[in-house]
Structure 1
Amino acid sequence: MNTSTRRRMLTTAAVASVSALALAGCAADGGSGSESSGDENVTLTITTFGTFGYDDLYEEYEELHPNVTIEATNIDTGGNARTDAFTKIAAGSGLSDIVAIEEGWLGAIMDVSDTFVDLRDYGIEDRKGDWVDWKYEQGADAEGRVIGYGTDIGPSGICYNGAAFEAAGLPSDRESVAELLDGGWETYFEVGADYTAKTGKAWYDHSGFVWNAMVNQLDEGYYTSDGELNVEGNAELQERFELLGAATEGGQSAAQAAWDWNGGKSFVDGTFATFVCPGWMLGVVQGQVEAGGGDAETGWDFADVFPGGAANWGGAWLSIPESSAHKEAAAELADWLTQPEQQVKQSTAAGNFPSTTEAQETLAADAAPNAFFNDAPTGSILAERAKGVVAQFKGADDSIIQENVFGPALSALDRGETDTQGAWDQAVKLLNELVG
């Protein structure tokens, strides 16, 4: 790792920690022992984040491999997982044998990709055809080293509360909601204005997540495809910001704190009616509803529609640090967890959508009803939403820009502390201070 990259990585870790909450535990050291699981006893550590749906798979793997013990750490959010990973990379120790990497900070990881093993040495090229092309390619660095087994991708639909729609005189069945919202973001906000006028309640939870979805939908977001910053002077980006700002100033935002939602109660008490939902968010919604005292009867559903068309938000990879004392055994586990059969099970457990084509086809064909979301066939809906999805290039500070640049500016807009132009100006100021 060269000096400039190390300095950049340390700066990135420091910036990320500004907004990070207390981490939900630390990853354990790899320890010492045999590299391959073989017949010798081995303990493998793995760090994930959010809702991965791996708990049952860990147990299954241990049953298939009685000599393997898995010690798992799950961090609450991808942003906090970023802070955890970069803090340990900077320290030169502490990374788990397997580390989950999120799409939003993959670009920053690629600056220090030599921290992780080249999985071509462990046979990943034999599986290249398993994944959608762009997912496999995203996991390769500039030298062609492949550092991640692809887990999920993030095709997006709209979660909505059917009971709230009915109370506002809006159609609540999935097909009618898809027709109602089938259009650009202008349509989404027009329906939102009608809903807010009729009910006096918010249309979406907070501006930050809606903004993230709007940005991810563009061919190029905060960075151009060749890695240049793409915010200031970006007319398309500012036009979308102004569209969102007008809706927020009109009362459509519930001004929720990101990843909070009043302990889940805001999903239950009708505080807002819609929620942007990449596949992995389905597990988040269910967890929040249950935390807030609700259940399947609370009325949340999932529609096969997304304003403006296909969009990808999120997705992850499993990577093996060079510091692991169990690289071969860790690669065996990461490979197994990302096989199509396991990706289907992961989707059933957490709602996220697979990156392997075989698993995608299985979910599309099964059309299994999701009891929590009014029996919506969430897997087949996501398969439909995945058509045409190609992930946007994410630069090194992409997640910093989303969380620490636009996050505070949009929160101020949500709270009525500034107007749309003021929020944009605040974001540009923060961009120059934190990223440059």
Structure 2
Amino acid sequence: MKLSRRTKGFAAVASAAAFALLATGCSGGSSSASSSGSSTDPITLTVTTFGTMGYDDLYKQYEAAHPNITIKATNIDTGDNAKTDWQTKEAAGAGLPDVQAVEEGWLSAVMQVSDQFNDLSQYGANDIKDRWVDWKLKQATDSKGRLIGYGSDIGPEGLCYNRTDFAAAGLPTDRDQVAALFGGDTATWDKYFAVGQQYKAATGKAFYDQSGFLWNAMVNQQKEGYYKTDGTLNVDGNADLKTLWTKLSAATASGLSANQTAWDWGKGKAFTDGTFSTFVCPGWMLGVVKGQVTAAGGDATTGWDFANVFPGGAANWGGSFLTVPTQSKHPQQAADLAAFLTNAQSEAAAFGVAGAFPSVTAAQSDPAVTGTNALSTFFNNAPVGTILAARAKGVVAQYKGPDDSVIQSQVFGPAIQQIDSGKADGSTAWNNAITLLNQLVVNK
């Protein structure tokens, strides 16, 4: 099970947003030259991203405004694979791009070698540091006070549901009524699973695609997740996590999970054939849902909608940063590009393409986010940007330790597969996860 964010990209940014980018300028950073030459020398900037970040049209805009710059972009399918790529090149001391996208889940590992990244304060960051929500800026600041990353998106979560499936089960289909069905502002996992039982009793079908994404959300909702804020592990003996695991495993054992493989939904077929009817959706996941449905031949009439509710309250899944490794031969130009890709207009445009909810505060109220776009049209004209802004309230960044992604994918991944497949009960699967934790993290 991989719980890295996003899969493949889709769609194109709205032309109005693209023109707005040209009109508003390209960077809040300094325009001074790097040590490689003058600011007008022809150069190539390499960029490595992952999943769906919505940057393709933005690259074109930047190249048009900077005729001397060519952008060579590499996009890796998942955050987990991007982490492996980064680690391999970082260990080799060569091969890293000028701009490296870093996922929240492995930011802590990056921070352990933060001296391998440029301090963006030396390249214009002090002029634009008020762009971001406070906690996003703090996440990318190392122990020496060096800012090594510009925030792209954050991942507040709402609930995707299928109206057609809900109607077949006799459940409400209006998104406000659906939010109320799950408890509104006081929605709980108990209530979510209870509605799931109603749905299964009426249709005989599963309620969610697999247990891993739910578990990820449950962990992210805690004040402290797999690590305490002091950097110590927080899994074995954690009564809160164990209680949540017991609830999840019981719901899964009752048939609420469709036992899908994470990130593999049969080329989208499971999103169109009623295999499951609810899906946890941080903003960037909306783009994934749309892409999956489209890949399977579906469209807006397939019935997916988006409600302003989430079991257990506010949760954040994912969020990325753009960094400039010290291997870059063009650190100033790379920092300028990163600043452009994370300005308000660019983040608003990326949202329209990929659902990546902006970490820049001004972008969160931009009409490109709050108004009609391809995502809102697909989700039954849901005000997706407005909903995500509401879901972002109360979200506080959770400390992610150096092996956070390892614990999620390699420790609890097998345990999730065991409960989804019925090969182990919840208690056995939890104990198996603790065994893996000791092998892969504690005693590595």
Q: What amino acid maps onto 1:381 in structure 2?
A: I
> Residue 364 of structure 1 contacts residue 381 of structure 1 at CA under 8 Å; is this kept in 2?
no
After superposition, the Cα gap between the structure-2 partners of 1:19 and 1:317, relative to the gap in structure 1 and judged at 3 Å, is closer
Structure 1 residue 39, shift from structure 2 partner = 1.4
Tell me the equivalent position of 1:405: 411
Q: 1:217 aligns with which of 217, 221, 230?
A: 221
Structure 2: unaligned runs, 5 residues or longer: 9-33
> Residue 165 of structure 2 contacts residue 277 of structure 2 at CA under 8 Å; is this kept in 1?
yes
After superposition, the Cα gap between the structure-2 partners of 1:252 and 1:383, relative to the gap in structure 1 and judged at 3 Å, is same
Structure 1 residue 19, shift from structure 2 partner = 11
Tell me the equivalent position of 1:47: 48
After superposition, the Cα gap between the structure-2 partners of 1:205 and 1:19, relative to the gap in structure 1 and judged at 3 Å, is closer
> Is 1:349 matched up with 2:372?
no
In the alignment, the residues of structure 1 paired with residue 244 and residue 47 of structure 2 have an alpha-carbon distance, to the nearest angstrom, of 39
> Residue 34 of structure 1 contacts residue 40 of structure 1 at CA under 8 Å; is this kept in 2?
no
> Residue 363 of structure 2 contacts residue 369 of structure 2 at CA under 8 Å; is this kept in 1?
no
> Residue 19 of structure 1 contacts residue 404 of structure 1 at CA under 8 Å; is this kept in 2?
no
TM-score (norm 1): 0.91
In the alignment, the residues of structure 2 paired with residue 342 and residue 311 of structure 1 have an alpha-carbon distance, to the nearest angstrom, of 24
Deviations 1:33-65 (A, max 9, x none): 964672111111101111100111111111111
Q: Residue 280 of structure 1: SS of its match in structure 2?
A: helix
Describe how 1:108-187 pairs up with structure 2 within 5 A: 108-182=109-183, 183-187=187-191
Q: What amino acid maps onto 1:401 in structure 2?
A: I
Q: What amino acid maps onto 1:248 in structure 2?
A: T
In the alignment, the residues of structure 1 paired with residue 367 and residue 439 of structure 2 have an alpha-carbon distance, to the nearest angstrom, of 45
Q: What amino acid maps onto 2:321 in structure 1?
A: W
In the alignment, the residues of structure 1 paired with residue 79 and residue 37 of structure 2 have an alpha-carbon distance, to the nearest angstrom, of 29
Structure 1 residue 303, shift from structure 2 partner = 0.5
In the alignment, the residues of structure 2 paired with residue 334 and residue 387 of structure 1 have an alpha-carbon distance, to the nearest angstrom, of 26
After superposition, the Cα gap between the structure-2 partners of 1:365 and 1:319, relative to the gap in structure 1 and judged at 3 Å, is closer
> Is 1:303 matched up with 2:307?
yes
Describe how 1:199-218 pairs up with structure 2 within 5 A: 199-218=203-222
Describe how 1:238-317 pairs up with structure 2 within 5 A: 238-317=242-321
Describe how 1:352-363 pairs up with structure 2 within 5 A: 352-362=356-366
Q: Residue 314 of structure 1: SS of its match in structure 2?
A: coil
In the alignment, the residues of structure 1 paired with residue 231 and residue 418 of structure 2 have an alpha-carbon distance, to the nearest angstrom, of 29
Q: Residue 73 of structure 1: SS of its match in structure 2?
A: strand
Deviations 1:94-117 (A, max 9, x none): 111101000000011111111111
> Residue 37 of structure 1 contacts residue 68 of structure 1 at CA under 8 Å; is this kept in 2?
no
Structure 1 residue 267, shift from structure 2 partner = 0.7
After superposition, the Cα gap between the structure-2 partners of 1:198 and 1:19, relative to the gap in structure 1 and judged at 3 Å, is closer
Q: Residue 431 of structure 1: SS of its match in structure 2?
A: helix
In the alignment, the residues of structure 1 paired with residue 114 and residue 38 of structure 2 have an alpha-carbon distance, to the nearest angstrom, of 25
Determine what percentage of the aligned residue pairs are the same residue.
59
Tell me the equivalent position of 1:197: 201
Describe how 1:303-342 pairs up with structure 2 within 5 A: 303-342=307-346
Deviations 1:307-364 (A, max 9, x none): 1111111100000010011111101100010001111001111111000110112259
After superposition, the Cα gap between the structure-2 partners of 1:245 and 1:48, relative to the gap in structure 1 and judged at 3 Å, is same
Structure 1 residue 145, shift from structure 2 partner = 1.1
- The number of residue pairs the alignment matches comes to 410
Describe how 1:22-37 pairs up with structure 2 within 5 A: 35=36
Deviations 1:108-148 (A, max 9, x none): 11111111111111121222211100000000111111110
Tell me the equivalent position of 1:419: 425
After superposition, the Cα gap between the structure-2 partners of 1:171 and 1:145, relative to the gap in structure 1 and judged at 3 Å, is same
Structure 1 residue 170, shift from structure 2 partner = 0.5
In the alignment, the residues of structure 2 paired with residue 102 and residue 62 of structure 1 have an alpha-carbon distance, to the nearest angstrom, of 25
In the alignment, the residues of structure 2 paired with residue 289 and residue 305 of structure 1 have an alpha-carbon distance, to the nearest angstrom, of 22
Tell me the equivalent position of 1:69: 70
Q: Residue 60 of structure 1: SS of its match in structure 2?
A: helix
> Residue 364 of structure 1 contacts residue 380 of structure 1 at CA under 8 Å; is this kept in 2?
no
In the alignment, the residues of structure 2 paired with residue 146 and residue 286 of structure 1 have an alpha-carbon distance, to the nearest angstrom, of 34
Q: Residue 70 of structure 1: SS of its match in structure 2?
A: strand
Tell me the equivalent position of 2:12: none
Q: What amino acid maps onto 1:54 in structure 2?
A: Y
> Residue 157 of structure 1 contacts residue 303 of structure 1 at CA under 8 Å; is this kept in 2?
yes
In the alignment, the residues of structure 1 paired with residue 103 and residue 243 of structure 2 have an alpha-carbon distance, to the nearest angstrom, of 28
Q: What amino acid maps onto 1:334 in structure 2?
A: A
Structure 1 residue 88, shift from structure 2 partner = 0.8
> Residue 203 of structure 1 contacts residue 273 of structure 1 at CA under 8 Å; is this kept in 2?
yes
Deviations 1:366-401 (A, max 9, x none): 343611111111111101111111111100100100
Q: Residue 271 of structure 1: SS of its match in structure 2?
A: coil
After superposition, the Cα gap between the structure-2 partners of 1:418 and 1:143, relative to the gap in structure 1 and judged at 3 Å, is same
Displaced runs of 4 or more, over 4 A: none
Q: Residue 250 of structure 1: SS of its match in structure 2?
A: helix
- For the aligned residue pairs, the C-alpha RMSD in angstroms reads 1.9
Q: Which has the higher contact order (CA 8 A, sep 6+)?
A: 2
Q: Residue 71 of structure 1: SS of its match in structure 2?
A: strand
In the alignment, the residues of structure 2 paired with residue 37 and residue 250 of structure 1 have an alpha-carbon distance, to the nearest angstrom, of 65
Tell me the equivalent position of 1:30: none
